[in-house]
Amino acid sequence: MMSKNDGEIRFGNSAELHGTKVQIPYLSTEKNSFKRMDDEDKQQETQSPTMSPLASPPSSPPHYQRVPLSHGYSKLRSSTEQMHPAPYEARQPLVQPEGSSSGGQGTKPLRHQTSLIRSFSVERELQDNNSYLDEPWRITEEQREYYVNQFRSLQPDPSSFISGSVAKNFFTKSKLSIPELSYIWELSDADCDGALTLPEFCAAFHLIVARKNGYPLPEGLPPTLQPEYLQAAFPKPKWDCQLFDSYSESLPANQQPRDLNRMEKTSVKDTADLPVLTQDVTGDDKQALKSTVNEALPKDVSEDPATKSGLLPPPPALPPRPCPSQSEQVSEAELLPQLSRASSQAAESSPSKKDVPYSQPPSKPIRRKFRPENQATENQEPSTVAGGPASAATVKSHPTVQKQSSKQKKAIQTAIRKNKEANAVLARLNSELQQQLKIPKVFIKPNSQRKKEPLEKRSHTKLSKEEEAEEEEEEEEEEEEEKKKHLLFFCH
């Protein structure tokens, strides 16, 4: 039980605790199963008191991984290559002494050790697809295969959606309570359209599995379960191509910036080195994402740099070259340490780049849920924002055009979704009202006949569903009023 409570605490506490807690135990263990997560939780338990003095600024839970990573990277600048092989082995002895000497070590050595650990954890993660920073919330390959197969059993086309009712029937089989399932849905349906895409479905399934294994549900969708992250982290050629060709509603905005990034990359690559490229792309990412995300949620400036940089790995992972792009992604990640040495600006951008797998949180779902917290983080990340726009000055015009079209598309698609839902609701209400009408029918036959004819006539015409329902309901309301009058008459 203790581990579970710590799990809850883990997700509810501030970033510093998170950053350190999460990274160290996970790095010291090479695991992939849920059972071992309990051990990690226990490790966190013992280490939590020691980790607090670390110098990561507090921020909301969704950001907890990003912030420590940025610190790790700034320190990485000073001491990277030499440390690379040794500290990873040294991590294990480091972990235990930190755990045992709860108050013994001073903040500085702790900080140094943890920063080293962080920096290598970052590299390890990028190179190792199954890294362990968010252990219970990271989907392994086998799990992914399983989820994808389950998805296919419900919906043969992996690039399409599973409707809400189908998913509801399926997830109800998990025997979790309805409120919990409702909450899991709320977490995983990132775009709130009442349907699950493949990444959303995997996130939902993963949350259900975690819950069944005893893990408390998180406050917000963990970064590794974000749809964008899942797409980037598990690019399968067939899946990718289909997704990219036919993906419409769920990721139009993300696609646009990704296209942008790719274009920017190809153009810049021809002329400059990769270091320059990544810097520019980061800047572009920032600009592009800034507008597309701002369109959805105008408030959050702080998360933009991280979000935009978060686009870096996804572009390489997307068509037209899914496989080589993935290796690009990895090589890019390795180059990033070198980049960070290049300039101070790179230091700002690369940490946020490193945050890539984790920086997806600033995208919509988390923002919607954590707006008040976002305001707090806005204050803490002004520097990164300042760094971004400066580098993006030159290439600003290009993203703006595509930004607007993606904005419009997104707006249209959200409108479509909302209308669909309104239609569904109207249909439901309609049927309810019709049922209600049937009961007092006896008293008001003449009136009901008169009213029914126009109703039926209208149902045959080609009105939109909404208007129909509206008019029918209006008439039904009038009918009801008349009914009431008649009833009163009868009573008297």
Instruction: Kindly list the residues in this chain that would bind another protein in the complex (CB under 8 A).
Output: 164-165, 167-168, 178-179, 181-183, 185-186, 189, 192-194, 368-369, 371-372, 417-418, 421-422, 424-426, 428-429, 466, 469-470, 473-474, 477, 481
> In whole angstroms, what is the distance from residue 58 CA to residue 37 CA?
25
The least distance separating another protein from the CB of residue 293, rounded to whole angstroms, comes to: 17
The least distance separating another protein from the CB of residue 418, rounded to whole angstroms, comes to: 5
Nearer to another protein, 202 or 221 (CB): 221
Distance of CA 133 to the CA centre of its chain: 16
The least distance separating another protein from the CB of residue 322, rounded to whole angstroms, comes to: 31
> In whole angstroms, what is the distance from residue 147 CA to residue 169 CA?
16
> In whole angstroms, what is the distance from residue 163 CA to residue 200 CA?
12
The least distance separating another protein from the CB of residue 112, rounded to whole angstroms, comes to: 39
The least distance separating another protein from the CB of residue 471, rounded to whole angstroms, comes to: 10
Nearer to another protein, 20 or 360 (CB): 360
The least distance separating another protein from the CB of residue 385, rounded to whole angstroms, comes to: 23
Nearer to another protein, 84 or 168 (CB): 168
User: Are the C-beta atoms of residues 38 and 84 closer than 8 Å to each other?
Assistant: no
The least distance separating another protein from the CB of residue 152, rounded to whole angstroms, comes to: 20
> In whole angstroms, what is the distance from residue 8 CA to residue 416 CA?
37
Nearer to another protein, 219 or 259 (CB): 219
3-state percent helix, strand, coil for the chain, nearest multiple of 5 = 75, 0, 20
Structure tokens at 345: 């600006």
Nearer to another protein, 74 or 430 (CB): 430
CB atoms within 10 A of CB 212: 12
Name the helix (H) or strand (E) containing 196: strand 195-196
3-state secondary structure of 300: coil
User: Are the C-beta atoms of residues 349 and 282 closer than 8 Å to each other?
Assistant: yes
β-pairing verdict for 195-196 and 162-163: antiparallel
The least distance separating another protein from the CB of residue 3, rounded to whole angstroms, comes to: 24
User: What does 206-219 look like in DSSP terms, one character per residue?
Assistant: HHHHHHHTTPPPPS
418 Ramachandran zone, left/alpha/beta (phi>0; psi -120 to 50)? alpha
Whose structure tokens read 């977490």? 187
Nearer to another protein, 118 or 364 (CB): 364
Residue of 259, 264, 310, 256 lying closest to 286 (CA atoms): 310
User: Are the C-beta atoms of residues 118 and 69 closer than 8 Å to each other?
Assistant: yes
The least distance separating another protein from the CB of residue 222, rounded to whole angstroms, comes to: 15
The least distance separating another protein from the CB of residue 474, rounded to whole angstroms, comes to: 6
Nearer to another protein, 120 or 137 (CB): 137
> In whole angstroms, what is the distance from residue 450 CA to residue 452 CA?
6
Cα–Cα distances in angstroms (integers) from residue 319 to residues 67, 237, 326, in the given order: 30, 8, 10
The least distance separating another protein from the CB of residue 437, rounded to whole angstroms, comes to: 15
Nearer to another protein, 176 or 274 (CB): 176
Nearer to another protein, 386 or 412 (CB): 412
The least distance separating another protein from the CB of residue 248, rounded to whole angstroms, comes to: 17
Residue of 89, 91, 85, 99 lying closest to 39 (CA atoms): 99
Cα 152-153-159 angle, rounded to 5 deg: 25
Handedness of CA 109, 113, 118, 123 (dihedral sign): positive
Nearer to another protein, 34 or 183 (CB): 183
> In whole angstroms, what is the distance from residue 196 CA to residue 160 CA?
9
Nearer to another protein, 393 or 488 (CB): 488
Nearer to another protein, 151 or 244 (CB): 151
User: Are the C-beta atoms of residues 415 and 370 closer than 8 Å to each other?
Assistant: no
